[in-house]
Amino acid sequence: EGNGLIGARCDAASTWQRWTLANAGRSLQNGASSACMDANAGARDRRGSQVFLYQCMDGNAMQEWRLTNGNIQWSDLCVEGNAVGAKLKLQYCGDFLQKKRGPFEMFDLRVMKPR
């Protein structure tokens, strides 16, 4: 737990790339680890901080995400990753992200996959 997330090539067979909704639909739980995507409570300025996996905790505001225009969003920050092996980091969801469709989509009522 506390593992930083990185970009990877799409692999439909990988449970590491499967996510389900947890905590009444507010959290993203990883299929391989059962941990949740976390916005890094330890960082003072979360912009630029790495997104990581942490034990799922109901009511944890650091684990409340939404899918907005193909972007995974926490508060006013979006998950950004631009290369295989690159750290997934939080950046402001400014105009450049809002106008460009993000790489994520819902393909089931409970599961997300890269598009």
- 93-102 tens-digit pLDDT: 875 555 556 5
77: domain CATH number is 2.80.10.50
pLDDT at residue 26 tops 80? yes
What is the pTM assigned to this prediction? Answer: 0.77
* Domain that residue 91 falls in: 3-114
pLDDT value of position 1: 45
Type of residue found at 70: G
Type of residue found at 35: A
Count of domains for the chain = 1
Query: Please, which pLDDT band fits residue 3 given cuts at 50, 70 and 90?
Result: confident
Q: What is the mean pLDDT of residues 10-39?
A: 90
Q: What is the mean pLDDT of residues 27-38?
A: 93
**H runs (alpha helix) in the chain:** 95-99
User: Exposed (0-12), middle (13-18) or buried (19+): which is 51, by Cβ within 10 Å?
Assistant: buried
